Structure 1
Amino acid sequence: MPNAWDVGSAVRFAAMGFPALATTSSGHAMSLGRDDQQVGFDELCAHAASLVAAVDVPVSVDSERLFATTAAGVAANVATLAAAGVAGLSIEDYDPATGAIDPLEPAAERVEAAATTARAHGLVLTARAENHLYGIDDFDDTVHRLDTYRRAGADVAYAPGLTDPERIRTVVTATRAPVNVLLLPDGPDPAELAGLGVRRASTGGRLARIAYDAACSVAGELSAGQGPPERATTEP
């Protein structure tokens, strides 16, 4: 499942035949000239609605922490995203305000609130355990968190940053839930992930970074007097 960062990328990915798309918080932030976690909730909702309106496939939203610290706030924001027409959304346990992973109990309470409201609106909720994305190599805690989030009502388990096949297989068997894996250069490819029991693979912000890096590379060639660019597949 590719993560689109704007309407143009979403339309192109949908035209390639992907059955569903996701957004990317870091890619969306890049498109606005910002860093990840620097986009507000109202901007996220408008972004999600624009992608939903542009394509005919389900769109799942990278909704970070759901922009709320309380269970009630989480539930309210899930309902708002449902009104934007999304098919799914996610909730993370990393708090950029503290620079730390949430304690398990309040994290699970937030997942439960999100899951209850998501279920009422027919949305798929992905719960994310962020340890490995932030350099915390506590695999046992990651598995325990994902299992706790599943029991709290999450539909999909996701621990971005895992690349070891046996660890990925352990997540699949331990959580007894559909598992999403972030595709990384040093990790298994989609076919290998399927063999491990993974149900969904996503790209995160990598496609956006690749696109922006390629554009900047060509722009650099132009700046150095080399050009015109020859890598585009269509005329302007």
Structure 2
Amino acid sequence: MSKVDEFRALHRGRSPSDPLVLPGPWDAAAARVLESAGFPALATPSAGVAASLGYEDGATPAGEMFAAVARIARAVDVPVSADVEAGYGLAPKELVERLLEAGAVGCNLEDSDGGVLKDPHEHADFLAGVRAAAADALFVNARVDVFVHGDGDPERVIERAALYRAAGADCVYPILAPPAVVPLLRSGIEGPLNLLARLDGDGPSPAALGELGATRVTFGPGLQRRAAAALREIAAGLLP
């Protein structure tokens, strides 16, 4: 079985109490730690990778992001999905080629750019182009940013999700969806649903998100930020 087939299979037949948990490595060392902990796949966070490279979120040059993804994918044997933000302005064919060259089996693609929601029909066309260029070689996770950069209307999320699924997206990711609206989203969105879990205790656990309807759970840059906080604490203890 190829890695992308293995990754797809991880999304199927999951019980509500057992969502696919995908931690986010920001570099090769973190990826190896997470693989050794037993996670069956990983999902890079663009903000976490940006921080590890010395950039603000959203400011990483495309070449550096793909190089970072390649180092992570090369360091582990499990499938790696890559957060490539809004696609860096690349045409679908080039975006797919660079993801595959980096060793990724999947990608996150946001439907906002520069803090502004894209026209959903235009974004659906972009996703359809990615799907056509990738065929079955990539698992496409369509991030919906209505709760981040839109009006927060769950019906708007469902409308966008339907367009993206029709365009060939394998999974839908309504980032920062309030837990209270997740059952509504689950009832209105076909196929796998990705939800964000927080590591600060302010929100449902991965298992609880699964009970609400999550097929898979990711953490954004949460792990990288938690690691940075731990390092700050250690560093402070080293000072005389």
Global fold match (TM > 0.5): yes
Provide the residue aligned with 1:140 in structure 2: 155
**1:1-236 residue pairs with structure 2 within 5 A?**
1-68=22-89, 73-96=91-114, 99-118=115-134, 120-134=135-149, 136-165=151-180, 167-184=181-198, 185-223=201-239, 225=240
User: Is the deviation greater in 46-55 or in 137-146?
Assistant: 137-146
Q: Which has the higher contact order (CA 8 A, sep 6+)?
A: 2
Distance 1:163 1:15 in 2: 32
1:75-111 C-alpha deviation (Å, 9 max, x unpaired): 3211221122211011111111xx3111112111111
Cα deviation, residue 121, structure 1: 4.8
Unpaired runs of at least 5, structure 2:
1-21
Distance 2:119 2:139 in 1: 24
Unpaired runs of at least 5, structure 1:
226-236
Distance 2:202 2:157 in 1: 20
Distance 2:206 2:74 in 1: 28
Distance 2:148 2:225 in 1: 17
Structure whose alpha-carbon radius of gyration is higher = 1
Count of residue correspondences: 217
Cα deviation, residue 172, structure 1: 2.0
Distance 1:169 1:33 in 2: 38
1:130-171 C-alpha deviation (Å, 9 max, x unpaired): 121346422221121112111111000001101324x21222
Which consecutive aligned stretches of 4+ in structure 1 deviate over 4 angstroms post-superposition?
none
Q: TM-score, normalised by structure 2?
A: 0.85
Task: Kindly report the root-mean-square deviation, in angstroms, between the aligned alpha carbons of the 2 structures.
Answer: 1.6
Distance 1:139 1:197 in 2: 15
Using the aligned pairs only, state the percent identity: 34
Distance 1:116 1:189 in 2: 36
Q: TM-score, normalised by structure 1?
A: 0.86
